[in-house]
Every structure is written in C-alpha cells, then in structure tokens.
Structure 1
Amino acid sequence: MARAFKVRSAERDAQTDSERLGSISAAIEAAVASIRKERDALRARVDAARDQAAFATGTDYDEYLTRDAKDAARIKEYEQQMATGEKRTQELDRQLGGLGAVQEAFKQYFAGKVQ
C-alpha cells in the first residue's frame, strides 16, 4: 500500500530557508567585519610608520646630505613597511568591494527570507 505524498508545512519551509540563508548572511557579515578590522588596524600602523619616517627624515632642507647611515636605513625600512601596508590595504578594499556586491546580490535575491 503506497503512502500518500506529503510536504512540509509552509512555516517549516520558511524556517529552514531562514536558517540556511541566515548562515550565509552571517558568514558574509563576519568576513566583512574581519576585513574592516584588519584594514583599520593596518591603516593605523601605516600612519604610525609614516609619522616615524617623517620624524627620522627631519625638517632641515639639506638634512639628507648629512644623514647618518643608520637613520637612512631606518627611513628605508619605514618606506618599505608603508608600501607593503598600502598594497595590503588596497587588497582589503578590493575584497570589501567584492563582498559588498555579494551582499547586495544576496539582499536582492533573498530579501525577506532571512530574519
């Protein structure tokens, strides 16, 4: 004897959809928050390196002529740190842009499905 075909209730389907899509939304939000946190901390470190390089560079117009080799090496290191930090910051901004697009698409297709 065959059993009658039954489907789940609309409420249960809505709950399942909300849970499934909610986990995706939460993962995107977590990734965005993590990227922003890393980017903001990195920007602070790049700014600090820039300040230290400016301090080490000095204020006299001809100071570079008499700069100690140790100071010159330190300035070069700060410049390298700033360049590396700027490159990483650009990558993080690119990732944020991409995830922003994913969030918009997610909202467009699944608006009202996630609580």
Structure 2
Amino acid sequence: MFKLFGRTKTNDVFRARSPERDRRSDALRVASIAETIDLALQACRAEHAGLGRRLSDVLARAAMTVGNDADEYLDREPANTALQNVFSFEIANGERRLRELEANIHRFETLKATVVASFPEHSEVLATRP
C-alpha cells in the first residue's frame, strides 16, 4: 500500500544530505545574495563618483558664464543666458540624481548589514565580501 505513495523503490533507504553539504548549500545562497548587493553598491558608488565629477565640471563652467559684476545679469549676452539656463536645469537634475544615489547606497548598505546580521552562521563567507 505504501509503495503507491513513494517515488523510490521499497528496498531503498531514505537518506538526507549530510549537514556539511547543507551548510555549503546555504552558504552559497547567502553568498549569492551578498554578492548581488555588493555589485549594486559598486554600481551606485561608481555612478555617484562619475556624476559628482561631471557636476563639478558643469558648476565650474556655469560660474564662468555668470560673470562677476553685480549687474551682470542685466547685460549678459543672450547666448550666455541660454547656456546658463541649460546649466541650471542640468545641475538641478544632477544634484537630484546624486541625492537618489546616496539614498540607494544607504539602502544597499542597510540590506548588506541585515544579511550579515541574519546569517551569523555564515560569517566566514560574508567576511570575504567587500
């Protein structure tokens, strides 16, 4: 009767995997999650650094088009005014994106800390991660 419910032959004995194999499997899963978080962190940090450099460059160029006289905005050349408007728009977008990236970096760091705290038995695998 029980033979109908089993997928193995009646003379086979049930055997679970060894605890060591279970531990290795779990460690690989945890390491996979940690690696994915690390890759996302690296991508965010790289984008943040690159955007920060480009934004600094645009700020320097925008400062040159503003001029340094108190009434510069009154007699500024139309081409410089148009360029200043473009710079202002792009600077605002760049600063917005930098804030988003900083928030994402913080969130990914929090996720990483949560993984480390949630799986203390796999600290040796997580310690090798940056």
For Structure 1 versus Structure 2, the TM-score category normalised by the shorter chain is over 0.9
Equivalent position amino acid for 1:78 in 2: F
1:79 has 2:69 as partner: no
TM-score, with normalisation over the residues of structure 1? 0.92
Q: Which residue of 1 aligns with 2:102?
A: 93
Three-state SS of the structure 1 residue aligned to 2:12 is coil
Aligned to 1:63: 72
Deviation (angstroms), 1:76: 0.8
2:73 is paired with a residue whose SS is helix
The size of the alignment, in residue pairs, is: 115
Which one has the largest radius of gyration?
2
- SS of aligned partner of 1:8: coil
Q: Percent identity?
A: 29
Q: List runs of 5+ in structure 1 lacking aligned partners.
A: none
Quote how far apart the aligned CAs of 1:3 are: 2.6
Please state how far the C-alpha of 1:111 moved relative to its aligned partner: 2.4
Shift of 1:106: 0.4
Where relative contact order (Cα < 8 A, 6+ residues apart) is larger, the structure is 1
Counterparts of 1:1-115 in structure 2, within 5 Å, are 1-113=10-122, 115=125
Q: Aligned-residue CA RMSD in angstroms?
A: 1.3
Query: How far 1:5 moved relative to its partner?
Result: 2.1
1:72-98 deviation line (CA, Å, top 9, x unaligned): 010111111100001111111111121
Q: Distance in 2 between matches of 1:4 and 1:59?
A: 87
How many angstroms does 1:2 deviate by? Answer: 4.3
Q: Which runs of 5+ in 2 are unaligned?
A: 1-9, 126-130
